[in-house]
């Protein structure tokens, strides 16, 4: 057994530093904050000018005062230098705050857009996507974009301006000394590029290993019971330790390279300063330059070498952001397969009739349903039975457009379901599933699901009708009891009762029940059956049931085999027919009898 690794953990290798098409699209999110952008860009030349001026003041102080002993005007220079240092601090703080604010506002808007887009996607889309992949889009990819804004893009421009400004200043001060500094540049740039390239590969491997550890941790939580039943803990622990050990090595390698890069730049700057002293001493001796100029050059070298080191990190940040933008926009460009049609036909007066007209449905090329023709009259209770994989759940999901037929049409009261607004259709068609999904939050929130039309009185009435009020009132906080993730502090029967309570609260006109009692114990099943009988009253209903004795009293039974309706009729007529239903019923009866005798 190996830990599951989704392909999304493998980082996309975005080849180009900048994709202007993606960047232009990104700017549409930044456009509402143009004032912040203007402020951030306006501070860049001011910041560069402040940093370029400081070494020049040091030169003036050395040449005009410290070497000559003339102190007149020195306090003014010192005061001006102190003001520039303070101004640099203020500008740096404002830049950092502005960049961070801009980045977080942009990423907030992108996250909101992503989440709204995902909420609008059809259910089939989520069946085809891994949850970790989608979470990664909303959380990690958007954070990469934020890093581009707050510490990548603006600072990249700032470093570039600073390098150009320092280069110009050094050239104006002394072209000869500037040439000495330039001699170190090719070695520095080539060395930095090689180290950065290797570091990027190692960091990419580290992120892949992090994804594998996260994937295994998810499996540990979700498959905890299975792992313990089959005593897999030791093996899983060994797998995790192996991945963790590999991750530890990659982190060490990355830290080693980062330290080596820092030391390399330190060494290069020190050697350059030594060359500067050696060459500059001769120039001072010949009167071609001053000591103040050499000291100013030393300060310029200190300021020019570290932006070069940081530039490599900025390039990595920009490439990661371009990759993230590509994946984000790919997701946003994916349109939901099921959405409201631009049809303004008036909605019919509700009666509750459902009609399937020559419907096919499949996942890809494989058909699950074929030539489905059936009509359910208003108020009729129809059961759908058949062996596993016959297409029962797929059939009922065509009614509320969770899926759409690949051929044919489904009608409610004579109007194709495609022409109903999705909000109206799904409020009209309620579904009690095999297992009720419970969200983190209170019991009340899990019933009304933030629908403003369902108030405290409606909540209480729904709980009374379903019978859930009995266990709710036993809880210390009643309706305000906070439930853990997936309702872990409730029994299976209590979770299912909450699902039924939801249906009473939303009061749908058409009800679909998908094996609503198959995952609960016998005692809970009796309570739930009573609640369901009450819920079924005065509604058109389709009932998927595993236990055939539970559906003997429905109005009609549809028998599905391999995606086709092969039989239709009441329990008695189908038993007399001695066809598929009769055999299924007899087989189940024998199994239950044998189980009771055991």
If asked whether residues 204 and 93 sit together in one domain, one would say no
Most confidently predicted of 46-50, 193-197, 220-224, 431-435: 46-50
Residue 274 domain-assigned (yes or no): yes
Residue 83 domain-assigned (yes or no): yes
Residue 298 domain-assigned (yes or no): no
If asked whether residues 565 and 424 sit together in one domain, one would say yes
Which run of H or E residues covers position 346? none
DSSP code of residue 350: P
Q: Give me 545's structure tokens.
A: 């049931």
CA distances from 18 to 267, 297, 309, 315 (A): 32, 34, 20, 10
Got the DSSP string for 462-478? Answer: HHHHHTTHHHHTTSTTG
If asked whether residues 381 and 514 sit together in one domain, one would say yes
**CATH code of the domain containing 422:** 3.40.50.300
pLDDT per residue over 5-16, tens digit each? 344 444 444 445
pLDDT per residue over 253-287, tens digit each? 888 887 887 788 778 878 888 888 888 888 888 88
Residue 305 domain-assigned (yes or no): no
If asked whether residues 474 and 404 sit together in one domain, one would say yes
Diameter of the chain by CA atoms?
121
The beta-strand segments (E) located in 389-509 are 407-412, 415-416, 429-432, 441-442, 482-483
Q: Give me 39's structure tokens.
A: 């402020």
If asked whether residues 369 and 431 sit together in one domain, one would say yes
Residue 181 domain-assigned (yes or no): yes
Model confidence pTM above 0.75: no
Residue 5 domain-assigned (yes or no): no
Among the candidates 304, 334, 364, a domain finishes at 334
Closest CA to 327 of 127, 140, 123, 108: 140
- What does the buried/exposed string (b/e) look like for 252-269 if buried means 16 or more CB atoms within 10 Å of the residue's CB? ebbeebbeebeebbeebb
Residue 12 domain-assigned (yes or no): no
Which is higher by pLDDT, 238 or 344? Answer: 238
**What domain range is 43 assigned to?**
19-174+318-334
Residue 311 domain-assigned (yes or no): no
If asked whether residues 432 and 562 sit together in one domain, one would say yes
Considering only 157-161, 289-293, 377-381, 499-503, which range has the smallest mean pLDDT?
157-161
Which is higher by pLDDT, 2 or 492? Answer: 492
Residue 467 pLDDT > 70, yes or no? yes
Cα 171 to Cα 157: distance, rounded to the nearest angstrom: 21
If asked whether residues 471 and 374 sit together in one domain, one would say yes
**CATH code of the domain containing 113:** 1.20.1560.10
Q: Is the Cβ–Cβ distance between 62 and 292 less than 8 Å? A: yes
Question: pLDDT value at position 313?
Answer: 66
If asked whether residues 422 and 360 sit together in one domain, one would say yes
Cα 195 to Cα 189: distance, rounded to the nearest angstrom: 10
Question: pLDDT value at position 14?
Answer: 47
If asked whether residues 271 and 258 sit together in one domain, one would say yes
Question: pLDDT value at position 592?
Answer: 54
Which run of H or E residues covers position 247? helix 233-285
If asked whether residues 120 and 193 sit together in one domain, one would say no
Q: What is the mean pLDDT of residues 472-480?
A: 87
If asked whether residues 266 and 281 sit together in one domain, one would say yes
In residues, how long is the chain? 598
Chain centroid, CA 55 distance in Å: 48
Cα 91 to Cα 44: distance, rounded to the nearest angstrom: 9
Rg (CA), the chain: 35
Question: pLDDT value at position 485?
Answer: 74
Q: Name every residue whose Cβ is closer than 8 Å to that of residue 538 and which is 6 or more positions away in sequence.
A: 379
- Per-residue confidence band for 407, with pLDDT thresholds at 50, 70 and 90: very high
If asked whether residues 404 and 551 sit together in one domain, one would say yes
Tally of structural domains, the chain: 3
């Amino acid at each position: 057994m190996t830990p599951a690794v989704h392909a999304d953990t493998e980082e996309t290798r975005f080849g180009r530093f900048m994709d202007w098409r993606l960047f232009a699209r990104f700017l549409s999110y930044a456009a509402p904050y143009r004032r912040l952008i203007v402020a951030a860009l306006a501070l860049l030349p001011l910041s560069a000018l402040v940093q370029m001026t400081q070494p020049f003041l040091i030169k003036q102080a050395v040449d005009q005062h410290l070497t000559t002993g003339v102190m007149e005007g020195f306090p003014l220079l010192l005061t001006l230098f102190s003001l520039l240092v303070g101004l640099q601090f203020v500008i740096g703080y404002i830049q950092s705050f502005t960049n961070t604010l801009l980045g977080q506002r942009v990423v907030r808007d992108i996250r909101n857009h992503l989440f709204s887009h995902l909420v609008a996607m059809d259910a089939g889309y989520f069946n085809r996507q891994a949850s970790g992949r989608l979470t990664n889009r909303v959380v990690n990819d958007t954070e990469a974009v934020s890093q581009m804004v707050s510490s990548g893009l603006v600072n990249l421009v700032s470093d570039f301006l600073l390098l150009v400004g320092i280069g110009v200043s050094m050239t104006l001060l002394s072209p000869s000394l500037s040439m000495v500094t330039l001699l170190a540049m090719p070695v520095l740039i080539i060395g930095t590029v090689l180290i950065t390239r290797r570091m990027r590969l190692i960091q990419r491997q580290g992120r892949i290993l992090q994804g594998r550890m996260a994937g295994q941790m998810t499996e540990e939580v979700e498959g905890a019971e299975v792992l313990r039943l089959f005593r897999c803990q030791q093996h899983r622990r060994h797998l995790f330790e192996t991945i963790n050990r590999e991750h530890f090595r990659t982190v060490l390698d990355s830290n080693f390279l980062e330290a080596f890069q820092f030391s390399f730049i330190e060494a290069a700057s020190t050697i350059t300063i030594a060359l500067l002293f050696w060459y500059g001493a001769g120039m001072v001796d010949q009167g071609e330059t001053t000591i103040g100029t050499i000291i100013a050059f030393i300060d310029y070298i200190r300021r020019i070498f570290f932006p070069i080191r940081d530039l490599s990190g900025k390039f990595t940040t920009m490439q990661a952001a371009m990759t993230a933008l590509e994946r984000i926009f790919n997701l946003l460009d994916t349109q939901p397969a099921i959405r409201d049609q631009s049809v303004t036909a008036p909605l019919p007066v509700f009666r509750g009739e459902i009609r399937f007209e020559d419907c096919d449905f499949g996942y890809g090329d494989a058909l699950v349903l074929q030539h489905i023709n059936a009509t359910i009259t208003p108020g009729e209770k129809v059961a759908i039975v058949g062996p596993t994989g016959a297409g029962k759940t797929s059939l009922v999901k065509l009614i509320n457009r969770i899926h759409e037929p690949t051929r044919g049409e489904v009608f409610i009261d004579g109007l194709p379901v495609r022409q109903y607004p999705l909000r109206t259709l799904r409020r009209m068609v309620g579904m009690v599933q095999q297992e009720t999904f419970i969200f983190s939050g209170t019991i009340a929130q899990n019933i009304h699901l933030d629908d403003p039309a369902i108030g405290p009185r409606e909540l209480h009435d729904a709980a009374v009708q379903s019978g859930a009020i009995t266990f709710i009132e036993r809880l210390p906080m009643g309706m305000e009891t906070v439930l853990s993730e997936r309702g872990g502090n409730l029994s299976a029967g209590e979770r299912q009762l909450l699902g039924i309570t939801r249906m009473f609260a939303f009061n749908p006109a058409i009800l679909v029940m998908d094996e609503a009692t198959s995952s609960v114990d016998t005692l809970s099943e009796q309570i739930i059956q009573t609640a369901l009988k009450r819920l079924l009253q005065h509604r058109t209903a389709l009932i998927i049931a595993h236990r055939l004795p539970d559906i003997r009293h429905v109005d009609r039974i549809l028998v599905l085999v391999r995606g086709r309706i092969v039989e239709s009729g009441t329990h008695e007529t189908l038993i007399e027919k001695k066809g598929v239903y009769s055999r299924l019923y007899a087989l189940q009866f024998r199994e239950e009898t044998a189980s009771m005798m055991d």
